[in-house]
Structure 1
Amino acid sequence: MICFSHVNFNGRTTPSRTTGSSPVPSPLPPKYLPPKYRTMPSLLFKCIPFIHPKPHPFPLSLVTAMSTKTKTRLRGVVFDMDGTLTVPVIDFSSMYKAVLGETEYRRIRQENPSGIDILHLIESWSPDEQRKANEIILDFERLGRERLQIMPGAAELCGFLDSKKIRRGLITRNVKEAVDLYHQRFEIVFSPALSREFRPYKPDPAPLLHICSTWDVQPNEVMMVGDSLKDDVACGKRAGAFTCLLDEKGRYCSADFTELDLEPDFKVASLAEVHSLLETNFDLMP
């Protein structure tokens, strides 16, 4: 709205509406007048126009909120162990062949191009067959523990999470002995750390839901990080958590995601990428 103000000799003004209505007093301090008019008698001029800007149609707080992107809160990260927190050292193909036999391995592998779930597969076998199969699996896992190596970027990522007071958990299909060795050798402890002894194991969401319950957080405030689409991503998706697929060698493509109907929320080639991913996409709160 534009108002015209009659300036008195004492420097005060009395604005008159352009609509012709009665003047409405509204004192205006002299400092807001142009310098040459601050002491000039009113006889030299009749009125000085002042523009009163209209208020912004939205409150400032709302304008600020509209321009700020809200990030999703993240309170915990759960990791797979073999191939995620550790360098892959177990030859799973050789292990499956030793358990199943060459011919049966090829047949099952052809029927399951995404990978063989050996633990669930042998559950339907007789007790004696299961015992022999578990002995073979344990031998391969024992050899893997002897060559245990921490994954590059794991220690730095865990340190970053600790600095943000973000909880760290672990879910593995390996045995508790392997988890204990990891904690002892690398002095990085995850809690809870669920091994194969916790049933049911991945890809069932039960272990991840158990960790969320222990932390007293919602699954949608947690991220599952792992190198297996059918185990880690499936576990996270079924629990309702965010998922991050670690794919160092480019094993997976969009066709794999479509075939299994399992598309991770994020995909990285190294644990070093997870650091910036978390900072960019999430509100990191304890």
Structure 2
Amino acid sequence: MNAALPPSFRVRAVLIDLDGTLVDSVQDLAAAANAMLAEYGRAALAVDTVRSYVGRGIANLVQRCFGSEPVPEGALAAFRRHYRQTNGRQAHVYPGVIEGLQAMRALGLPLACVTNKAEAFVPPLLDAMGLAGFFDLLVCGDTVPRVKPDPLPLLHACERFAVAPQEALMIGDSLNDVRAARAAGCPVICVPYGYSEGRSLQAADCDAIVPTLAAAARLLVPVHS
């Protein structure tokens, strides 16, 4: 491939992360986390601190909120209770997301949202953001037994779409997405604006870094059987 040219991806399906890729939901997550911490007499956390905890599912976020201390009994249920109230309230769709999803649909590509967020919170958030109608499949943090960076969620989506992993592009914002894609055998591109657990993504980590989902769509070459 000519290094001066942008890469292109011949694909039959696209798998897309949610938090930090499609939607900036950190304000809602931080509100729920701090409401949970208040119940246990703990100090509130800065939004940027909570941002660095996002990516490996709710149980991991709750654990990190308590640092090295054991998670109190009932804390996970408390977070879920508060997040049901805050989910979608201050979240917003990132620039270029709607245009990118529209372009991918126009190419005739099936789309899956593959997220570590628990299923109870995914459809309400997608509905609130006006994104639900774009997706043919949701693979959530409790759809299969393991979450990203394990490859199982991606492999499950590929199986449901009846495509080989190398024919399904993963789009995400973090090393969790990259590692899951590499382990599954999927090509992977990343957006630079997400959470990534406080670690910056490097071009060497993935097949491309694009500024928006709209830019990602311009790299796709659909393959239809």
Is TM (by shorter chain) over 0.5?
yes
Aligned length: 194
Of residues 20, 25, 46, the one that matches 1:83 is 20
Letter in 2 for 1:172: T
Matched, 1:239 2:184: yes
Cα distance, 1:90 vs structure 2: 3.5
Structure 2 counterpart SS, 1:145: coil
Whether the 8 Å CA contact 2:101–2:134 is kept in 1: the answer is: no
CA distance in 2 between partners of 1:130 and 1:265 (Å): 42
Matched, 1:215 2:164: no
TM-score by length of 2: 0.69
* Counterpart position of 2:149: 203
* Counterpart position of 1:160: 103
Cα deviations across residues 21-40 of structure 1 (Å, max 9, x unaligned)? xxxxxxxxxxxxxxxxxxxx
Cα distance, 1:78 vs structure 2: 0.7
Structure 2 counterpart SS, 1:146: coil
Matched, 1:252 2:200: yes
Go from structure 1 to structure 2 and tell me whether the alpha carbon gap of 1:232 and 1:179 turns closer, same or farther (over 3 Å shift): same
Letter in 1 for 2:160: T
Cα deviations across residues 174-193 of structure 1 (Å, max 9, x unaligned)? 23233212443415241220
Letter in 2 for 1:201: V
Cα distance, 1:92 vs structure 2: 6.0
Go from structure 1 to structure 2 and tell me whether the alpha carbon gap of 1:222 and 1:119 turns closer, same or farther (over 3 Å shift): same
Cα distance, 1:223 vs structure 2: 1.0
Go from structure 1 to structure 2 and tell me whether the alpha carbon gap of 1:88 and 1:183 turns closer, same or farther (over 3 Å shift): closer
State which structure, 1 or 2, has the greater radius of gyration over its C-alpha atoms. 1
* Counterpart position of 1:265: 207
Cα deviations across residues 143-202 of structure 1 (Å, max 9, x unaligned)? 232223222222211111111111100111223233212443415241220122222111
Letter in 2 for 1:197: D
* Counterpart position of 1:227: 173
TM-score by length of 1: 0.56
Q: Percent identity?
A: 25
Cα distance, 1:85 vs structure 2: 1.2
CA distance in 1 between partners of 2:113 and 2:194 (Å): 23
Question: Structure 1: which 5+ runs fail to align?
Answer: 1-70
CA distance in 2 between partners of 1:152 and 1:74 (Å): 24
Question: Structure 2: which 5+ runs fail to align?
Answer: 1-7, 64-69
Structure number with greater CO (CA < 8 Å, separation at least 6) is 2
CA distance in 2 between partners of 1:72 and 1:146 (Å): 35
* Counterpart position of 1:26: none
